[in-house]
Amino acid sequence: MKTATALLTLLAACAAAPPRALPSADWARGAHVFVDVPSGVPDEAQRGEFKTRVEDDLRSAGALVEAQPRDQSLRVITATDANWTATEVTALRGKDALAHFRLVGMDLPCISLGVALSGGAVACIAREVSAHLLESKQMAEAMARGPAPAPAAQPAAASKLSGKLAVLELRNFTTDLTRENAQYFTDLVRTAALKAQPQLQVMTRENLMVLLQASGKDLANCEGECEVDTGRRFGADQIVSGEIQKVGTRYKLTLRLHDTHEGRLLASTQASGKTIDELDTEAQRAAQELLAAH
């Protein structure tokens, strides 16, 4: 009896540190989170305590904890052995794994042999799971990117256009895109036109530059009827015009398709992206949509 008492006294003397303070994380604020603790811990009470503690931590960090997962909820799945000696944590959004890590109980500052034997490991491990998630750079980057875009709907079958199509150089109203950047997006529209309406004769940049110089037209502030009139002068049956601008932190690309014979606006569309890469992807979709639906 004295030996057992002495052992407990020794274990108490080797006290572990308390669970550490909960870090903050911008990605957690407003994030929809579901904490999933699959049955694997024999002690149902400990399992419930662990889940509650992790949920409370994530709420404190600003997350919206859900009773049931939604399609784009962040799902935190934890799996541990019967003695809490090792805990595997995976964070998923849909089918995408955003983070994965493994915690070994006795490696954590808040667990000592005495804590482990007394069953007090739950609070420590729950806090470490929450803290690791909040501190994860991988999580922060993944949540900043947002959910993966839904598969793009197949564009509707394009109505047949005929004759010549002129694509005017897109006007660049941004301060951080070069003339070459704007020319790239103009060429992207020309390529989309050839794919969507292969029967069209798409006029090249060189053709248009020669005709523009010959006509003496200045397109810097030319919209609507002016663009249509320019298309007629070029001998085009349809003309595409547009501009790139920046609204807040997002790039916006606007495209318009006019019939030059009747002056009708056949279609207009817009692409948006926080980065040039995002705008590039969305611009291809918008260009296809412009030529397909009118």
Helices (H), 38-136: 44-60, 113-117, 121-135
Strands (E), 61-158: 64-65, 74-80, 86-93, 96-104
All structural domains of the chain: 13-145 (3.30.160), 164-292 (3.40.50.10610)
Q: At what angle do helices 205-215 and 225-234 cross, to 10 degrees?
A: 100
**Pairing relationship of beta strands 164-167 and 238-247 according to DSSP bridges:** parallel
Please state, in angstroms and rounded to a whole number, the distance separating the CA atoms of residues 230 and 187. 19
Q: What's CA 19's distance to the chain center, in Å?
A: 33
For the stretch 72-97, pLDDT in tens is 788 888 877 766 778 888 888 887 88
Helix/strand/coil for 91: strand
pLDDT of residue 40: 57
Tell me which DSSP letter residue 15 carries.
Answer: P
Contacts of 115 (CB under 8 A, 6+ apart): 15, 16, 121, 124
> Tens digits of per-residue pLDDT, 224-267?
557 788 788 888 899 999 999 998 889 999 999 999 888 888 88
Closest alpha carbon to 192 in 253, 146, 260: 253
- Alpha carbons 44 and 83: distance in angstroms, whole number: 13
The pLDDT of residue 30 is: 87
Question: Which ranges of the chain have pLDDT less than 70?
Answer: 1-16, 39-42, 82-83, 112-120, 147-159, 212-225, 293-294
Going along the chain, which residue ranges are E strands? Answer: 32-36, 64-65, 74-80, 86-93, 96-104, 164-167, 171-172, 201-202, 238-247, 250-259, 265-273
pLDDT of residue 121: 79
* Per-residue pLDDT at 218: 53
